[in-house]
Amino acid sequence: MILRLDELALDLPKPKNPSANDAAAIQELLGGKFGEMSTLMNYTFQSFNFRGRDRLRPFYALTSAIAAEEYSHIEAVSYAINLLLTGVTERGKDPVPGPLAGAADARNSYHFLASGQAALPFDSMGNPWTGQYVNSTGTLRLDLLHNFFLECGARANKIRAYETVTDPCARTMIGYLLVRGGLHVYAYAKALEVITGVDVKKIMPVPPLSNAKFPEAVKFMEHGLHRELYTFSPNAYKEAGLIWNGEHPEDGSQLVVKEGAIKGVPYPVLEEEPQLSAPGEDDFDPEMFKDIAKKLGIADEWKQRHG
């Protein structure tokens, strides 16, 4: 089970230049083979399927904690896409002028025809994420090796997406993912090292380009986000610290495990897109909830939103 926090892990700046094609490219980080759906689902299933986990608890805990964090990554990529798509077509409720005319030339028509200018679990070519991308062999050593490779592959994706899209909204998000993904690379490397004695960490950086080259990543590293593994649990996964400890391989800073989630921020506001009836229901009157809100003891929250 999970508890959802209704918060994003980082503050996403509003795009300077919303762009349908930039959003299309960023989809690779969401639904691509090396996207965040893949990291989320690989580690999630590996954790569900972990046999003999008591004997190897720290490995289970590490995988589970990272799995939980990945949810916040599909969230972050999705919001970045949604922001990049906000306002890229003409707003209005009259279909006649052809408010979506630009969509015909856009790289990803699903953003307009299928979603409400918003993210979908597809990659940059419009191919859907698929369960084929999940590896969960049950063999710890092989799953860890896979995860190390997957994070490296995901790192390459992020770097290339960064080089493709220059908007600060996307780049802030990618900078953040590079830092957190970088931590995950090292985490799986250290787990492999515990078992095999091999200093896998030294294979990094893969690709051979340091996070230090990305100003947006550097900012997050200054806050220590490259060395703090969060349990993303109120009460479990602290044993991840049996693996995640010692010095950071790049800057020698102290590796720590922190309980719970990263301190989040409210989700960015997603403006309505009336030409897509997203969300529609223009004549809906929230007033009808007033009395029930009172009964439920959430009258104050209600007032705050609806006056």
Task: Report the C-alpha gap between 78 and 111 in whole angstroms.
Answer: 12
User: Least distance to its own copies from the beta carbon of 19, Å?
Assistant: 7
Task: Report the C-alpha gap between 205 and 42 in whole angstroms.
Answer: 22
Q: What does the block give as tokens for 200?
A: 């896998």
User: Least distance to its own copies from the beta carbon of 252, Å?
Assistant: 18
**Interface positions, 158-177, toward its own copies (CB under 8 A):** 159-166
Give yes or no for residue 191 binding its own copies (CB under 8 A).
Answer: no
257 - beta bridge partners?
229
Give yes or no for residue 4 binding its own copies (CB under 8 A).
Answer: yes
Give yes or no for residue 157 binding its own copies (CB under 8 A).
Answer: yes
**Interface positions, 10-29, toward its own copies (CB under 8 A):** 19, 21-22, 24-25, 28
- For residues 85 and 276, the answer to whether their CB atoms sit within 8 Å is no
Give yes or no for residue 262 binding its own copies (CB under 8 A).
Answer: yes
DSSP string over 56-108: THHHHHHHHHHHHHHHHHHHHHHHHHHHHHTTSS---S-STT-TTGGGGGSS-
Give yes or no for residue 245 binding its own copies (CB under 8 A).
Answer: yes
Does 36 show up as a binding residue in the annotation? yes
User: Least distance to its own copies from the beta carbon of 207, Å?
Assistant: 4
**Interface positions, 36-95, toward its own copies (CB under 8 A):** 37, 41, 44-45, 48-58, 64-65, 67-68, 71-72, 74-75, 78-79, 82, 93-95
Burial of 110 (0-12, 13-18, 19+ CB in 10 A): middle
**Interface positions, 129-148, toward its own copies (CB under 8 A):** 129-132, 134-142, 145-146, 148
